[in-house]
């Protein structure tokens, strides 16, 4: 999500800035411009910032409340408490009815079912009871995203290094136990050895390190709103997290305790990035990684502990 302490340009970062980078193309191609005033590509570019590594910048003036772009996640997974009531893929609330034909298993739609079918079938066959129990007891949510990615890779739906372009957390706690649980759940599936080559303890640690600081907790906005302007202005009433997801482009936004961009989820994991105020051409776009209503000390503690940096945004510098 951020890149604070070093300005070292990794080979991956150079690749990121290359116009031929397929990941960036993928992200951009998922963007839709639905406002009536602006058509064409989203008004942003990813570039190097003065102090925080890469960041996202406006390529033209952006008006308050403008939908800057939307983004689809690379990996998503429901919270364990919501696993039976939201879509396996897009985390949309499932509608239950007496007519079981209206619901395609754990999916909200045939579209989601088709998109995730290959790894869903695989994931469904394995026994995750130990792994889930372990996560539930320790309150861990990120291993679920690693599990999902492992299944996607085995099913050929993602590459093993698809999120390696994102920055990793510096410290990763011990993972031996969860890794061996994941490994034995997957080994019960009769996958060829060749297809499991990627699944080393090092791969697990690398993915978890990136998931830890890049995953977004998905909180849907209650109800549905047509007027996005009103939505951004309102203090948003959010349902407790329905799941977690990792995105590429939204992860390049740096943090600010008084952000100019807001990331919201209306009814599914598809994110919308909206301007909170007028933004000038060339200005950096920033989102708030945490609850912006917290006081100065609480924000600093969470940002340091969870993301590994000391925030020096204008609001923090003024001790607000």
Residues that bind Zn ion (CB under 5 A): 87, 89-90, 92, 108, 112, 257, 311, 313, 316
CA distance 302 to 163: 24
Q: Packing angle between helix 142-154 and helix 129-138, nearest 10 degrees?
A: 150
Nearer to Zn ion, 58 or 94 (CB): 94
108 token code pair? 């909200």
Nearer to Zn ion, 65 or 261 (CB): 261
Nearer to Zn ion, 92 or 272 (CB): 92
Taking the complex as a whole, how short is the minimal distance between the CB of residue 269 and Zn ion, in angstroms? 8
Report which of 221, 218, 258 is spatially closest to residue 241, judged by C-alpha positions: 218
**Can you give the C-alpha Rg of the chain in angstroms?**
20
Nearer to Zn ion, 17 or 316 (CB): 316
Nearer to Zn ion, 2 or 160 (CB): 2
CB 2 within 8 A of CB 255: yes
Long-range Cβ contacts of 240-243 (<8 Å, 24+ apart): 241/79, 241/217, 242/78, 242/79, 242/82, 242/86, 242/91, 242/93, 242/218, 243/76, 243/77, 243/78, 243/79, 243/82, 243/86, 243/91, 243/218, 243/269
Taking the complex as a whole, how short is the minimal distance between the CB of residue 64 and Zn ion, in angstroms? 21
Nearer to Zn ion, 43 or 259 (CB): 259
Taking the complex as a whole, how short is the minimal distance between the CB of residue 144 and Zn ion, in angstroms? 17
CB 289 within 8 A of CB 39: no
CA distance 287 to 88: 27
Taking the complex as a whole, how short is the minimal distance between the CB of residue 311 and Zn ion, in angstroms? 3
Report which of 89, 173, 95 is spatially closest to residue 123, judged by C-alpha positions: 89
Nearer to Zn ion, 36 or 319 (CB): 319
136 token code pair? 């539930």
Taking the complex as a whole, how short is the minimal distance between the CB of residue 215 and Zn ion, in angstroms? 19
Taking the complex as a whole, how short is the minimal distance between the CB of residue 165 and Zn ion, in angstroms? 25
157 token code pair? 């739906």
Taking the complex as a whole, how short is the minimal distance between the CB of residue 46 and Zn ion, in angstroms? 22
CB 49 within 8 A of CB 216: no
CA distance 245 to 247: 7
Taking the complex as a whole, how short is the minimal distance between the CB of residue 86 and Zn ion, in angstroms? 8
Nearer to Zn ion, 44 or 90 (CB): 90
């Amino acid at each position: 999500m951020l890149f604070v302490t070093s300005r070292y340009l990794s080979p991956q970062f150079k690749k990121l800035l290359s116009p031929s980078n397929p990941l960036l193309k993928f992200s951009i191609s998922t963007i839709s411009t639905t406002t009536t005033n602006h058509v064409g590509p989203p008004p942003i570019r990813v570039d190097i910032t003065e102090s925080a590594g890469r960041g996202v910048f406006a390529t033209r003036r952006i008006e308050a409340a403008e939908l800057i772009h939307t983004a689809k996640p690379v990996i998503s997974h429901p919270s364990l408490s919501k696993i039976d009531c939201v879509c396996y893929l897009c985390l949309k609330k499932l509608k239950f009815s007496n007519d079981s034909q209206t619901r395609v298993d754990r999916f909200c739609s045939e579209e989601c079912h088709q998109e995730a079918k290959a790894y869903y079938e695989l994931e469904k066959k394995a026994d995750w009871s130990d792994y889930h129990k372990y996560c539930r007891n320790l309150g861990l949510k990120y291993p679920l995203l690693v599990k999902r990615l492992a299944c996607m890779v085995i099913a050929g739906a993602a590459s093993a290094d698809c999120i390696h372009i994102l920055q990793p957390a510096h410290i990763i706690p011990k993972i031996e136990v969860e890794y061996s649980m994941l490994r034995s759940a997957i080994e019960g599936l009769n996958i060829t050895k060749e297809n499991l080559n990627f699944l080393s303890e090092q791969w697990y640690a690398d993915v978890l390190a990136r998931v830890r600081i890049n995953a977004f907790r998905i909180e849907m906005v209650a109800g549905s709103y047509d007027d996005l302007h009103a939505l951004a202005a309102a203090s948003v009433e959010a349902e407790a997290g329905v799941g977690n997801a990792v995105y590429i482009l939204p992860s390049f936004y740096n943090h600010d305790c008084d952000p100019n961009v807001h990331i919201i989820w209306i009814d599914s994991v598809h994110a919308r990035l909206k301007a909170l105020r007028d933004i000038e051409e060339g200005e950096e776009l920033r989102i708030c990684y945490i609850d912006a209503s917290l006081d100065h000390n609480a924000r600093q503690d969470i940002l340091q502990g969870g993301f590994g940096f000391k925030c020096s945004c204008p609001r923090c510098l003024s001790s607000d």
